[in-house]
Amino acid sequence: MAGKATREAYGDALVELGAVYEELVVLDADLSKSTMTAKFQKAYPERFFNIGIAEQNLMGIAAGMAAAGKIPFASTFAIFATGRAWEQVRNTIAYPAHNVKIAASHAGITVGPDGASHQALEDIALMRVIPGMTVLVPADAWETRQVVEAAIKHKGPVYIRLGRPAVPDIYDETYRFRIGEASLLCDGDDVAIVAAGYMVHVALSARDILAREGVSARVINMCSVKPLDSSVLLRAALECKAVVTAEEHSIIGGLGSAVAEFLAERCPVPVRRVGVRDLFGQSGEPGELLQAYGLTPEDIVEEALEAIRAR
């Protein structure tokens, strides 16, 4: 399946939607060629603002532009957007509920050779804990296009997590995304795999392996990590009675935590989390890193069988 990186789809979506939404402005911190906001800069130079290597200022300026009626998209790498500028995002963007969209690329271990300093494995946790912040993790180019428009239409702060490598297409132009709604990719009743972002197509591969072993897995794309789709999760827990989460993020504080927190209170069933296990990353090719950190289809299969055995 051909596909492109979610960051590239983000750049394309900005160009397309920039024509529709006049208030849309884009800010970057000297990474516009990597975050792909350079596409927007080329199309609408007067609405693009390079803030230089100053991520805290990036967030503050975006907040000020929102206060004056703009819909700013602030982009840089996920580690800097959510880590370095966390308190700016909390106090200056989220506390006043400013209409700022933080679209951060190079999230997760698949950043690859740049290594641990540039691989954000904590960004979902850092954004999810902030009151009023919506957290969206698109799985492919088509979903990214939908997510960008949903973020524009949503009034308030949104965090969009984007990846560096190309990902296979899961959807096509008919796909429609809504904040707070998960997408059921395939039905099954032995175990539910709840995935987000890059790990959605990995989850689909895991499902194929499980099917060959006679296990019927449901695959849910939980792009909307906050707010979670609670009804889809509840149904999955009731009907499958075992749940596995999969994300390119620490198992602490991300999608896995969100799902486990929800199910522990509302419908306790065995939950297993596939993710990075409280470690920093390192240099390597994305494929090697996914293998080294336990993020392959086989890892999901193993945890799925564990969850089934535990119920």
Q: Which residues are catalytic?
A: 55
In sequence order, what are the residues at sequence separation of 6 or more whose Cβ sits closer than 8 angstroms to the Cβ of residue 208? Answer: 297
Number of residues that bind other proteins (CB under 8 A): 29
Residue 41 or 88 having the CB closest to other proteins: 88
Please select the residue that binds other proteins; options are 61, 79, 202, 304, rule is CB under 8 A: 61
Residue 152 or 223 having the CB closest to other proteins: 152
Quickly tell me which residue has 């072993």 as its tokens: 213
Residue 95 or 175 having the CB closest to other proteins: 95
Please select the residue that binds other proteins; options are 52, 113, 227, 287, rule is CB under 8 A: 52
Least distance to other proteins, CB of residue 81, Å? 15
- ∠ at Cα 252 (249, 255), nearest 5°? 60
Q: Does 168 bind other proteins (CB under 8 A)?
A: no
Least distance to other proteins, CB of residue 73, Å? 13
Q: Does 86 bind other proteins (CB under 8 A)?
A: no
DSSP label of 27: E
Which window, 84-92, 190-198, 247-255, 277-285, contacts other proteins (CB under 8 A)? 84-92
Please select the residue that binds other proteins; options are 19, 42, 87, 117, rule is CB under 8 A: 87
Query: In b/e form, how buried is each residue of 78-99, taking b as 16+ CB within 10 angstroms?
Result: bbbbbebbbebbbebbbeeebb
Query: In b/e form, how buried is each residue of 22-43, taking b as 16+ CB within 10 angstroms?
Result: eebbbbbbebbebbbbbbbbeb
Which window, 86-94, 195-203, 273-281, 300-308, contacts other proteins (CB under 8 A)? 86-94
Measure the CA–CA gap between 14 and 44, rounded to whole angstroms. Answer: 10
Measure the CA–CA gap between 167 and 6, rounded to whole angstroms. Answer: 7
Contact 99, 157 (CB under 8 A): yes
Query: What SS3 class is residue 195?
Result: strand
Q: Does 188 bind other proteins (CB under 8 A)?
A: no
Which window, 58-66, 162-170, 187-195, 264-272, contacts other proteins (CB under 8 A)? 58-66
In sequence order, what are the residues at sequence separation of 6 or more whose Cβ sits closer than 8 angstroms to the Cβ of residue 7? Answer: 34, 35, 36, 105, 106, 162, 163, 164
Residue 24 or 220 having the CB closest to other proteins: 24
Would strands 243-250 and 191-195 be described as parallel, antiparallel, or unpaired?
parallel
Please select the residue that binds other proteins; options are 66, 81, 130, 202, rule is CB under 8 A: 66
Binding site for other proteins (CB under 8 A): 25, 46-47, 49, 51-52, 54, 56-57, 59-70, 72, 87-88, 91-92, 95-97
